[in-house]
Amino acid sequence: MVSFNITYYNEPKWLLWWYDRMVELDKQGCDFYLNVCDDGSQTYPATKFFKKYPPLPQMRLFRVTEDIGFNSHGARNLLMKTTLTDWNVMSDIDRRYPLDHMVEMTDCDLILKEGNYYSFREITKASPDGFSVNEYIVHKNDFWKTGGYDEEFVNIHFGDRYFLDCLRQVAHRQKKQEWGVKYARGARDVTWLDIPKTIYPDDKTLIHPIGRWGNEEFRFGLKEMVQKRNRTHEGRMSKQVINFPWEQVF
């Protein structure tokens, strides 16, 4: 059995894809959970979506009760604190997986081994060597050996890379050639003008505002502190996670 874990923020059209996929998995008799963490949506909260599309028993919804800025790192920590399965697919909401691959993932207990985490082949890449970075399957024990995502990066887009560096210290990265993922959003515009900005055309929301991250001294100090903390087991275990109010909706 596996849990599919996704974070959500005011994007019902992306959540609908996952909902439809889970309905198909249920029809095929697969064992799974879909865990959704709504990271403080105000315009179109996930609760509104599930009033229109009633949840299956295998679906669980968690909600961060304050919109505290870009908090996907904290939301991923919450999903892993509350998961009911050993093996967990960590994915962004705008990623797409072939249905037959997802069916096979629900039986991953039989073929995956603790001490490893698994990346997916990027099926949109021309080169067969392209593999996903921020989408992977991980055992919950290995996830928490890292101490989780560092929530020093709330409202900052860079925390994923430091978590993955940390994960590679405690588990071996394996590449699952037979399971693929497609990056669906596509139209996202990323620019680098000292301050990295990510603009989502669907709602025109600038999720990486100019602020402390624009201060070079602050950036350097934060990176140095996080890298130092992640070098040792004691440092990794010292992280304070889920520093925000939340609730389980169902």
pLDDT digits (tens, 9 = 90+) for 38-56: 998 988 999 999 999 999 9
Count of domains forming the chain: 1
In terms of C-beta density within 10 A (0-12 exposed, 13-18 middle, 19 or more buried), how is residue 9 classed? buried
Top pLDDT among 124 and 162 is at 162
Q: What is the mean pLDDT of residues 180-202?
A: 50
3-state secondary structure of 235: helix
Residue 67 lies in a domain: yes
Residue-wise pLDDT for 103-117, tens only, equals 999 999 889 999 999
Top pLDDT among 129 and 140 is at 140
Tell me, what's the pLDDT at 212?
A: 60
Best CA proximity match to 140, nearest among 104, 105, 109, 98: 109
3-state secondary structure of 231: coil
Tell me, what's the pLDDT at 24?
A: 98
Residue 135: pLDDT above 60?
Answer: yes
Residue 52 lies in a domain: yes
Tell me, what's the pLDDT at 213?
A: 62
Tell me, what's the pLDDT at 125?
A: 63
Would the pTM of this model clear 0.85, i.e. be above it?
A: yes
Residue 35 lies in a domain: yes
96 near 13, Cβ under 8 Å? no
Mean pLDDT of the chain: 86
CB neighbours (10 Å) of residue 10? 20
pLDDT over 90, % of the chain = 63
What single letter denotes the amino acid at residue 138?
Answer: V
pLDDT over 70, % of the chain = 85
Tell me, what's the pLDDT at 84?
A: 98
Could you identify the residue written with the tokens 């890379």? 161
Residue 205: pLDDT above 80?
Answer: no
Residue 195 lies in a domain: no
Q: What is the mean pLDDT of residues 162-186?
A: 90
Name which of 90-99, 176-185, 197-206, 215-224 the model is least confident about. 197-206
Q: At what angle do helices 159-170 and 216-229 cross, to 10 degrees?
A: 20
Distance in angstroms (rounded) separating the CA atoms of residues 44 and 79:
20
**Rounded (5°) CA angle 40-45-46:** 110
Residue 211 lies in a domain: no
Distance in angstroms (rounded) separating the CA atoms of residues 214 and 10:
26
Domain of residue 79 covers 2-183
94 near 60, Cβ under 8 Å? no
Residue 62 lies in a domain: yes
* CATH number, residue 172: 3.90.550.10
Residue 236 lies in a domain: no
